[in-house]
Amino acid sequence: MPFKATNYPPNWRDEIRPAILKRDGYKCLVCGVHQRAFGYRDKNGTFVECDDHMTRWANQQGISCFTIYLSVGHTCHDTLCVNPYHLKTMCPRCHNAHDLQNRLANRKYKLKNSRYVCSGRK
Ligand SMILES: [Zn+2]
Ligand SMILES: [Zn+2]
**Dist. CA 86 → ligand 2 center (Å):** 5
* 65 within 8 A of 55, measured Cβ to Cβ: yes
Its pTM surpasses 0.85: no
CA atoms within 13 A on the CB side of 83: 14
The Cα 85–Cα 43 span in angstroms is: 32
pLDDT surpassing 90 at residue 58:
yes
Cβ–Cβ contacts within 10 Å for residue 31, how many?
16
Residues, beta carbon < 5 Å, ion ligand 1? 28, 30-31, 91, 94
Q: What is the pLDDT of residue 1?
A: 53
Cβ–Cβ contacts within 10 Å for residue 11, how many?
11
DSSP secondary-structure letter at 45?
S
84-109: average pLDDT: 90
Nearest to 78 by CA among 106, 107, 110, 116: 116
Note the ligand closest to the C-alpha atom of 45. Answer: 1
Cβ-based burial of 110 (10 A; exposed 0-12, middle 13-18, buried ≥19): exposed
Mean predicted lDDT score pLDDT of the chain: 90
pLDDT surpassing 90 at residue 105:
no
Residues, beta carbon < 5 Å, ion ligand 2? 76, 78, 81, 83, 86, 118, 120
28-52: average pLDDT: 96
Q: Give bridge partners of residue 71 from the DSSP assignment.
A: 90
CA 24 vs CA 16, 76, 92: distances in Å? 12, 17, 15
Note the ligand closest to the C-alpha atom of 83. Answer: 2
